[in-house]
Structure 1
Amino acid sequence: MPANKKINIDEPRWDQSTYWGRARYYFTTTNPLNLLVSDKRLDEAKEIVTKYRRKGDMGNLTEDELWRAKEIYDSAFHPDTGEKMMLIGRMSAQVPMNMTITGCMMTFYKSAPAVIFWQWVNQSFNAIVNYTNRSGGSPITNDQLAESYALATGGALITALGLNSLVKRAPPIVGRWVPFAAVAAANCINIPMMRLQELKEGIPVNDEKGKKLTMSKVAAQHGIGAVTISRISMAAPGMALTPVVMDYLEKRGTLCRYPWSNAPIQILLCGFFLTFATPMCCALFQQKASISVDQLEPEAQQVIKKKSPPPEIVYYNKGL
C-alpha cells in the first residue's frame, strides 16, 4: 500500500449506499466464527483500531490485516460506546442461537408447556440482543428492561397459544406457522419497549462528519421501525419455509419412520436460512441512517437551523 494512502476505518470497507455493499459488511460482522475469537485477540484488534484512529499508522500491518482487525472489532464492540458486548448479544451469535431456538419452537409448537418454555427462551434471548445493540447514548433502566421483557413474552405467549387454539382444525402446515406469527408479534412489542428511552428522549443526530447536532425522537422512531422490519424479515425465511419442508416430509412418512429427526432437521434448516437471512436482512437499511432535517420534530429543526451553514440531511445510528 502506498505510504501516503489513508484508510477511513470509521466507515465500512464496502460502499454502504448500496445494498450489496451493506450485505458484504454484515456477512463479516454476523459471521458465527467471530464468536471463536479469543478475548486477547479482541483486545488486540481494539488496540490496532484505536491506534490507527489516533495516529493513522499501520506499522507492519497490511491493508487486509487492518481491515480484519476492524471486522473483529466491529463484531464485538458497540459502535457508539466502544464497550465490549456480551457474547450472546453480539450479532455473530444470531445464527447459532436463533437456529436452535426457532428450530425447537417449530418442533414443539403443539404442546402448551413447550410453547410457553420456548417462547420464554426466545424473548429472553431477544431482550439480551436488543439491550446489547441499542443505540448508544440512550441508557435503559432496570424497570424499563423488566417491563419490555414481560410485555414481549406475554405478547408472544398470547399470540402463540391463542392461534394454536384457533387452528386446531386447520391443515397441519397452518399450525406450523404459528411460531412465526408469535415471533413477529413479540418483535413489534419487544424492540420499541426495549428502546423506550430513545422514543422518550430521542437519539443523537449528527452532521456528515459525525459531530452531534441535537437529539431527535423522530429519528428514534425511524430507527426502531427499521430494526423491527429487519428482525421480522430475518426470521421469515426459516420460519415460513421450514414448515413447508416439514409438512412435505410428514406426508411422505419420513418423520414417522425417523421421529428422532424432527428437531435436528428443523434446527439445521433454520441454520441454513439464517446464515443468509441474518446479514441480508440487516442490510435492508443503512446502519448510519440519514434523514432530512425537514422530517424531524420542530424543536430539533430549530436547533439544527441555527448552525452555520445548516445541514439539510442529518445522520444517526439506527441500532441493530
Structure 2
Amino acid sequence: MKFFSLFYLGRIDVDKPLYDLKTFSGRFKHFAWMTDPRTCITSNEKLNEAKRLVESYRKGEEPKSTTKEQIKYAMKLYTSAFHPDSGELQNFCGRMSFQVPGGMLITGGMLTFYRTVPAVVLWQFINQSFNAVVNYTNRNANSPTTVTQLGVAYVSATTSALVAAIGCKNYWTKKASPIFQRYVPFAAVAAANCVNIPLMRQNEIINGIDVQDDKGHVVGKSRFAAIKGISQVVLSRITMAAPGMLVLPIIMEKLEQNASFKKATYLHAPFQTGMVGCFLLFMVPAACSIFPQTASMNTSTMRRLEPKLYDEMMKKTDGKPPAKVFYNKGL
C-alpha cells in the first residue's frame, strides 16, 4: 500500500485540466494550450499514439522512460483532437485548433471581397460550410443529429447569412458610408451564428442533454441546460469574430487613404488575412473562455423550469438530489 501511494505521488491526473477552469485566466490558459494551431497539422497516427499514451498512463502502465513533459504533450494532442463526450477523433476542419488557420483564410476573404454580390455569396457559402462542420464537430455528442437535420441546419444557416449579407449590402450601398459597407460580412456572420448553431444542435434542444452530479453520474436530460449552453456558444462565436471583423475595416479605411497602399491591391487580401490571424490567436482562446465548458445549474432552477426532470431526478437519487448539476455546453 505504501509503495502504491509513493508510485502515484506527484503523478499527473490526465482526467483533469492542467489549469484552474473556475477562473477566466485559467480557462484562457487552458484553451490557448488546447487550441494551439500547430497541433492541427499533427498526423492521425501521432494523435492516436497520444491517446494510447494517455490511456496507459491513466492505468499506470506507461513505458518506464515516459516523462511528465511527454504526458502533458500527449494530453494536449488528445484534448485538441478527440471529442470530450464520445472520445472519437474529431474532423480535422472542425477542431478548435483549426479555428485560427481556417478562420483567418475565410474571414480575410470575406473582408477583402465584399463589394460585389457574387463575391458575397461565394464567401458566405464557404464560411457557412466551415461553420457547419465546426458546429457539428463541437456539439454535445450525447445528442445524435440526423442527416436530415444537418441538411436543414446547413441550408437555413447559409440562407440566413446570404439574406443578411445581401440585404445589408443593398441597403448600405445606397445609404451608408464606405466604412459601414465593410461591415456587411460581420452582420452576415452574426446573423448566421444565431441560426446555424441552434439548428445544428436542435436535437439537444428537443430532447435535452445529459446532466450529471458532481461524481459524474447522469441524473437526467435537461432542455433548459441545452438552451443555456447553446446560447453561450452563440455569444462566444460572435465574440470570437468581432474584433477582427470590426477593427480591420477601420484600419483598411485609413490605410487606403495612402495612394501607394490603395494601388497595391494585391497586398490587401494577404494583409487582412494575416491581421485576422493575429486577432484570432488571442480571440479563439478568449472567446472559448467566457463561459466554462463544463457548465453548472442549480437544481432549484430545474425544479421551477423542468418539474418532470426534477421528479425523475428525485427518483434516481432516492429523494436526495444534488444541489447542482453539470453538463457539457460544447464549444
TM-score normalised by L of structure 1:
0.96
In the alignment, the residues of structure 1 paired with residue 22 and residue 69 of structure 2 have an alpha-carbon distance, to the nearest angstrom, of 22
Aligned residue among 66, 73, 84 for 1:79: 84
1:254–1:271 CA distance, 2 compared to 1 (3 A): farther
In the alignment, the residues of structure 2 paired with residue 41 and residue 228 of structure 1 have an alpha-carbon distance, to the nearest angstrom, of 32
Q: State the SS of the aligned residue for 2:257.
A: helix
In the alignment, the residues of structure 2 paired with residue 60 and residue 221 of structure 1 have an alpha-carbon distance, to the nearest angstrom, of 47
Unaligned runs of at least 5 residues, structure 1 = none
Worse-matched range after superposition: 107-116 or 163-172: 163-172
Q: State the SS of the aligned residue for 2:8.
A: coil
In the alignment, the residues of structure 2 paired with residue 113 and residue 190 of structure 1 have an alpha-carbon distance, to the nearest angstrom, of 22
Q: How many residues of Structure 1 are paired with residues of Structure 2 in the alignment?
A: 320
C-alpha displacement of 1:222: 0.9
Equivalent residues of 1:58, 1:66 under 8 A apart:
no
C-alpha displacement of 1:225: 0.6
Alignment pair present for 1:315 and 2:321: no
Aligned residue among 54, 68, 86 for 2:73: 68
1:33 aligned partner, one-letter code: R
Aligned residue among 140, 146, 149 for 1:141: 146
Aligned residue among 8, 12, 18 for 1:7: 12
Aligned residue among 83, 96, 100 for 2:101: 96
Equivalent residues of 2:255, 2:262 under 8 A apart:
no
In the alignment, the residues of structure 2 paired with residue 52 and residue 113 of structure 1 have an alpha-carbon distance, to the nearest angstrom, of 53
Aligned residue among 136, 160, 177 for 2:183: 177
Equivalent residues of 2:225, 2:327 under 8 A apart:
yes
Equivalent residues of 1:134, 1:319 under 8 A apart:
yes
Q: State the SS of the aligned residue for 1:3.
A: helix
C-alpha displacement of 1:58: 7.0
Question: Residue in 1 aligned with 2:3?
Answer: none
Equivalent residues of 1:14, 1:22 under 8 A apart:
yes
In the alignment, the residues of structure 2 paired with residue 266 and residue 173 of structure 1 have an alpha-carbon distance, to the nearest angstrom, of 15
2:93 aligned partner, one-letter code: I
C-alpha displacement of 1:57: 5.6
C-alpha displacement of 1:305: 2.7
TM-score normalised by L of structure 2:
0.93
Equivalent residues of 2:31, 2:285 under 8 A apart:
yes
Equivalent residues of 2:53, 2:62 under 8 A apart:
no
Percentage of pairs with the same residue? 45
Question: Residue in 2 aligned with 1:49?
Answer: 54
In the alignment, the residues of structure 1 paired with residue 112 and residue 149 of structure 2 have an alpha-carbon distance, to the nearest angstrom, of 32
C-alpha displacement of 1:19: 0.4
In the alignment, the residues of structure 1 paired with residue 221 and residue 160 of structure 2 have an alpha-carbon distance, to the nearest angstrom, of 31
Unaligned runs of at least 5 residues, structure 2 = 1-5
C-alpha displacement of 1:301: 1.3
C-alpha displacement of 1:55: 4.0
In the alignment, the residues of structure 2 paired with residue 21 and residue 159 of structure 1 have an alpha-carbon distance, to the nearest angstrom, of 36
Q: State the SS of the aligned residue for 2:216.
A: coil
In the alignment, the residues of structure 2 paired with residue 38 and residue 73 of structure 1 have an alpha-carbon distance, to the nearest angstrom, of 12
